[in-house]
């Protein structure tokens, strides 16, 4: 398991590593695990660029992308509508350019192959940007549209809940600085979080710098180091920011270079804010809203008291009603003086946000608040000035309306950002797993320990040897070179039981060493570590929008103008005209106001209460909490789309080997059909299979052959002209003999006759759910092996549980029909597809989809990746291959089949929460707007003052976020707790 989690750290950017139609998780490894560079050249994905004629909008691009993505062997597909291009990364062994071109044309567009870019080093990079100032969906949509309009930007996603943007861009067309400028041009503050997933970043504080020349000297010295990608200096902070490749250099090298520069007068250390910068902006935002709210209360409470409380106390009432000039009273002056700072100083953020929104033609919440408060404030100013210049005017001011409205909205925003901060607790917990310090060992040339030193864990570099004492956290990903212990990996994988570790075993940074002392050699550090990769995957998943959110975005886009132009203005006009033409009794009008003022209050209340903020938060907050909960239980869900598709699943397709079975087959029987020594027989077979050692059956054969040799690392005869036939077997020349190892189809394809005895042996093995493997030497069958792969302990119960959820289970395997049917009967699966090649698995998935099923595919091997991509939801077993993990939408890190049920159940609970959020947000507006407009006033004289409407609007957003936060208490179905855990 640890090996596979560490494999996440290998998922590096190669070529166009970020041009994926599923771009929300680390990119795939260049070669399949266990394959060398020379062997892997046939597995390198090729890149092709197509000119596509006829695309006019994003819907067209989506059609082309879907058509291409459904093909087997497609790794990435990126559509550029502006330039009418499609760039596709594919595996030539599964699909070719012509097939892709035909698929595009079948979608209704003309396609021409422009060039093959497989050797082009130009890549698409990903940068993450923090955006401050967004208040509602309208803001995030504006920024997203601005980013997508930039030439060179391949994809842009803006998340309101996290206040971040993820931008996929071509660096030779546009720079991240230009992207930041584009965000700031929309009126929001932009800060770069990271750029390029192939680099690590670190900030260093340098002491002793007195001149710009010293800073330039340090910059030049660092830039000369191998592996340093970029150096940025900040002289005012004595700060140096570096981007580097961790496999070539590291922070200790930088500190040494700085301290050796300039006669050792400089001292360097990691910049103090490095550890807390991830959440510092959120904390600062919370503090700002809290301070603003407190200051608003200082002025608003006296305004409220003078207008609604003190007016009923006889002595004080007389003082407040005292005339100053004509009809102008002391109370009006006091309220004017106190309300003005709230309106223009504390409420400045709403004016700023409204101006930016209107300048871009995209009105948002700030526009509604600014209009509502300005209407109340400036009417009050008019009333005061009229009273000061008239001897008979008796007016009423609404200063308390504008001040209290702003105060309640600030309170709501404070509670909202406080709650939103809690939705990303999963990431914070993951980040806190890394220990602050580590014990660095110094070894001599013979590997003996000659010294140890406690260092900051962020100073660990690749190939360092770290000492892990009992009870301490593992400081870095690596492998054990000395010692043995048990390590608790539950915080990473969700697996509760400690895992035994000894020499050669891999360990994951952030896990806890339980008893013995371990010496670990660091292999993946910084941004390459498994923990960083998981954090990045969860962050990207939380960025990804669920399709259901598009509805909210469309509603929000038109909702604000509709409210201002139609509903709010119409409400004011209707009540004003009704009052002017005496359409209702004068007794309806409160004694403190006239018909115009009453109409104005109704109009302001509608404007304020109708803000669609809650609608914009309904989906992203639930997705954030749902993916975080999944990660804490060892289920990595790659975004909102995966969650949405998973809750609709009604058919699950299981691979057999490594998914339903443990995936560690063993040879249980051997039958020779000719006079031959068993050891000699296995030496020939193992020589062929050792080349194919990543296949589970090949591993089993090689391990059995090792026992016959009684050697730990035996050498095998050379296998020449090796050929692997997917789903059938292998062929090679060993000691000038042609060896075939595989199934009946392989022998039939090579015209090798199968004896009756071999047929009987195969039938007997298959009846016992064993896999029969036939061995042919020089076109003659010489033996049959029987390999058994035990079922996972909970397989039968999981299939039964899925039936109770009304989900159909199907098994698909490349194994023979006899073995497949035996396994299926044992676990309770009725539909079986056997002897299927990888592309045939994908075709079966598509057939099921064509029948109206929502299909989830659960697999673990390279041969499952086409089916994982084709399925509505691909679920990869965490102990599977890197390519399967990359191709999947959901990764089950514990490799337990029960987690298939947990993933589906969690997605259903999350979308149930999203539906509840939408019901609340929409229902609140549908109910609140008529009440604010005065629908109840004629019958029961109930009206909603503007400040109450503001409080209700703020409360709706807070309630939606809190509703999403309840997902944190999700527990998987109780029946699963009784199932036995898988191996």
Active site residues: 655
Q: Is the Cβ–Cβ distance between 846 and 870 less than 8 Å?
A: yes
How do the residues of the chain divide into helix, strand and coil, expressed in percent and rounded to 5? 50, 20, 30
**Residues ≥6 apart with Cβ < 8 Å to 588:** 598, 937, 938, 941
CA geometry: angle 403, 407, 411, nearest 5 deg? 170
DSSP 982: P
| Rg over CA atoms, the chain | 34
Q: Is the Cβ–Cβ distance between 408 and 293 less than 8 Å?
A: no
Cβ neighbours of 330 (radius 10 Å): 15
* Dihedral angle, C-alpha 329, 331, 334, 335, nearest 10 °: -110
> Which tokens sit at 516?
């013995």
Residue 361 DSSP SS3: coil
Q: Is the Cβ–Cβ distance between 663 and 696 less than 8 Å?
A: yes
Is residue 275 packed enough to be buried (19+ CB in 10 Å), middle (13-18) or exposed (0-12)? Answer: middle
Q: Is the Cβ–Cβ distance between 872 and 854 less than 8 Å?
A: yes
Chain-centroid distance of CA 703 in Å reads 39
CA geometry: angle 803, 805, 811, nearest 5 deg? 40
CA distances from 971 to 359, 648, 967 (A): 47, 20, 9
Q: Is the Cβ–Cβ distance between 156 and 125 less than 8 Å?
A: no
Chain-centroid distance of CA 688 in Å reads 42
Give the span between the Cα atoms of 136 and 133, in whole angstroms. 9
Give the span between the Cα atoms of 772 and 766, in whole angstroms. 7
Angle subtended by helix axes 330-341 and 365-389, to nearest 10: 150
- Report which of 817, 798, 771 is spatially closest to residue 858, judged by C-alpha positions: 798
**Residues ≥6 apart with Cβ < 8 Å to 707:** none
Residue 729 DSSP SS3: strand
What is the enclosing helix (H) or strand (E) of 287? helix 277-308
What is the sign of the dihedral through the CA atoms of 608, 612, 618 and 623? Answer: negative
Give the span between the Cα atoms of 40 and 28, in whole angstroms. 14
What is the arrangement of strands in the sheet containing 153-159, beginning at the earlier edge strand? Answer: 153-159, 164-169, 125-132, 189-195
Phi, psi at 727, each rounded to 5°? 80, -5
Give the span between the Cα atoms of 537 and 553, in whole angstroms. 24
Q: Is the Cβ–Cβ distance between 841 and 820 less than 8 Å?
A: no
Residue 36 DSSP SS3: coil
CA distances from 718 to 448, 690, 773, 781 (A): 37, 10, 21, 21
**Residues ≥6 apart with Cβ < 8 Å to 277:** none
- Report which of 750, 813, 739 is spatially closest to residue 776, judged by C-alpha positions: 739
User: What's the first-to-final CA gap in the chain, in angstroms?
Assistant: 10
What is the enclosing helix (H) or strand (E) of 329? strand 328-329
> Which tokens sit at 602?
């109704």
Residue 960 DSSP SS3: helix
């Amino acid at each position: 398991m640890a090996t596979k989690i560490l494999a996440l750290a290998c998922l590096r950017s190669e070529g166009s590593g970020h041009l994926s139609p599923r771009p929300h998780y680390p990119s795939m490894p260049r070669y399949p695990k266990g394959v060398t560079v020379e062997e892997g050249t046939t597995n390198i994905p090729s890149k092709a660029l197509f000119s596509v004629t006829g695309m006019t909008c994003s819907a067209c691009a989506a059609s082309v992308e879907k058509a291409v993505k459904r093909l087997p062997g497609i790794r990435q597909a990126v559509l550029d509508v502006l330039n009418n291009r499609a760039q596709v990364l594919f595996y030539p062994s599964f699909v070719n350019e012509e097939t892709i071109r035909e698929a595009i044309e079948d979608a209704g567009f003309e396609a021409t192959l422009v060039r093959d870019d497989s050797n082009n080093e130009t890549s698409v990079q990903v940068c993450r940007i923090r955006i401050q100032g967004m208040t509602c969906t309208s803001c995030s949509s504006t920024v997203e549209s601005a980013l997508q309009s930039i030439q060179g930007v391949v994809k842009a996603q803006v998340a309101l809940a996290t206040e971040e943007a993820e931008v996929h861009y071509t660096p030779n067309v546009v720079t991240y600085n230009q992207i930041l400028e584009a965000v700031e041009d929309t009126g929001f503050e932009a800060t770069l979080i990271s750029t390029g997933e192939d680099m690590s970043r670190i900030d260093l504080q340098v002491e002793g710098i007195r001149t710009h020349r010293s800073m330039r000297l340090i910059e030049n010295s660092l830039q000369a180091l191998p592996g340093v990608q970029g150096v940025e200096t900040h002289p005012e902070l004595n700060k140096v920011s570096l981007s580097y490749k961790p496999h070539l250099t590291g922070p200790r090298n930088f500190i040494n270079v700085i301290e050796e520069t300039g006669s050792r007068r400089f001292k360097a250390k990691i910049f103090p804010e490095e550890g807390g910068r991830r959440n510092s902006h959120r904390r600062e935002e919370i503090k700002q809203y809290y301070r603003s709210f407190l200051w608003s209360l200082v002025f608003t409470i006296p305004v409220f008291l003078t207008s609604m409380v003190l007016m009923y106390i006889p002595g004080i009432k007389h003082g407040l009603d005292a005339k100053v000039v004509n009809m102008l009273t002391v109370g009006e002056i006091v309220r004017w003086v106190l309300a003005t700072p709230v309106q223009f100083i504390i409420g400045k953020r709403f004016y700023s946000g409204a101006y930016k929104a209107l300048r871009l033609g995209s009105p948002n919440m700030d526009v509604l608040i600014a209009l509502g408060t300005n209407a109340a404030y400036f009417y009050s100013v008019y009333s005061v000035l009229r009273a000061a210049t008239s001897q008979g005017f008796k007016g009423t001011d609404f200063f308390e309306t504008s001040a209290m409205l702003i105060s309640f909205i600030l309170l709501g925003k404070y509670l909202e950002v406080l709650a939103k901060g809690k939705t990303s607790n999963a990431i914070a917990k993951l980040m806190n797993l890394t220990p602050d310090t580590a014990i660095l060992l110094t070894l001599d040339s013979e590997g003996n320990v000659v010294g140890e030193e406690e260092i900051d864990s962020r100073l660990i570099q690749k190939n360092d040897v770290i000492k892990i004492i009992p009870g301490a956290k593992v400081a870095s990903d690596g492998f054990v070179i000395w010692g043995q212990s048990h390590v608790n990996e539950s915080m990473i994988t969700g697996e509760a039981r400690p895992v035994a570790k000894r020499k050669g075993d891999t360990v994951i940074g952030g896990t806890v060493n339980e008893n013995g002392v371990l010496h670990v050699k660091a292999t993946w550090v910084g941004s390459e570590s498994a923990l960083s990769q998981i954090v990045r995957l969860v962050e990207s998943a939380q960025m990804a929008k669920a399709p259901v959110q598009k509805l909210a975005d469309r509603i929000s886009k038109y909702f604000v103008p509709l409210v201002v132009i139609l509903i709010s203005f119409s409400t004011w006009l209707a009540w004003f005209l009704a009052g002017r033409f005496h359409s209702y009794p004068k007794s309806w009008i409160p004694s403190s106001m006239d018909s115009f003022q009453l109409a104005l209050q109704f109009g302001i209340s509608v404007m304020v209460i109708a803000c669609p903020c809650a609608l914009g938060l309904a989906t992203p907050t639930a997705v954030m909490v749902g993916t975080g909960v999944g990660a804490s239980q060892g289920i990595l869900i790659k975004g909102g789309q995966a969650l949405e598709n998973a809750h609709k699943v009604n058919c699950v397709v299981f691979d057999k080997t490594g998914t339903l079975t443990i995936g560690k087959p063993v040879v249980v029987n051997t039958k020779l059909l000719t006079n031959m020594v068993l050891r000699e027989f296995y030496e020939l077979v193992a020589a062929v299979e050792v080349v194919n050692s990543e296949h589970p059956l090949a591993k089993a054969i090689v391990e059995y052959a090792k026992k016959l040799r009684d050697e730990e690392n035996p050498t095998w005869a050379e296998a020449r002209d090796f050929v692997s036939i997917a789903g059938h077997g292998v062929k090679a020349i060993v000691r000038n003999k042609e060896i075939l190892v595989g199934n009946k189809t392989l022998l039939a394809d090579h015209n090798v006759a199968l004896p009756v005895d071999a047929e009987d042996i195969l039938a007997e093995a298959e009846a016992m759910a064993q896999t029969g493997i036939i061995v042919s030497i020089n076109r003659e069958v010489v033996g049959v092996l029987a390999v058994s792969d035990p079922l996972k302990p909970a397989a039968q119960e999981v299939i039964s549980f899925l039936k109770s959820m009304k989900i159909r289970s199907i098994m698909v395997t490349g194994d023979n029909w006899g073995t497949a049917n035996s396994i299926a009967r044992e676990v309770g699966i009725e539909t079986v597809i056997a002897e299927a090649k990888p592309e045939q698995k994908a075709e079966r998935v598509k057939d099921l989809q064509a029948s109206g099923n929502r299909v989830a595919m659960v697999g673990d091997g390279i041969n499952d990746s086409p089916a994982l991509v084709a399925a509505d939801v691909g679920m990869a077993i965490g102990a599977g291959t890197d390519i399967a993990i990359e191709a999947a939408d959901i990764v089950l890190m514990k490799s337990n089949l029960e987690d298939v049920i947990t993933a589906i159940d969690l997605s259903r609970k999350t979308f149930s929460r999203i539906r509840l959020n939408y019901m609340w947000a929409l229902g609140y507006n549908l109910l609140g707007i008529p009440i604010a407009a005065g629908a109840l006033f004629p019958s029961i004289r109930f009206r909603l003052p503007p400040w109450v409407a503001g409080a209700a609007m703020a409360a709706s957003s807070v309630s939606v976020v809190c509703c999403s936060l309840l997902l944190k208490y999700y527990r998987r179905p109780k029946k699963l707790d009784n199932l036995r855990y898988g191996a």
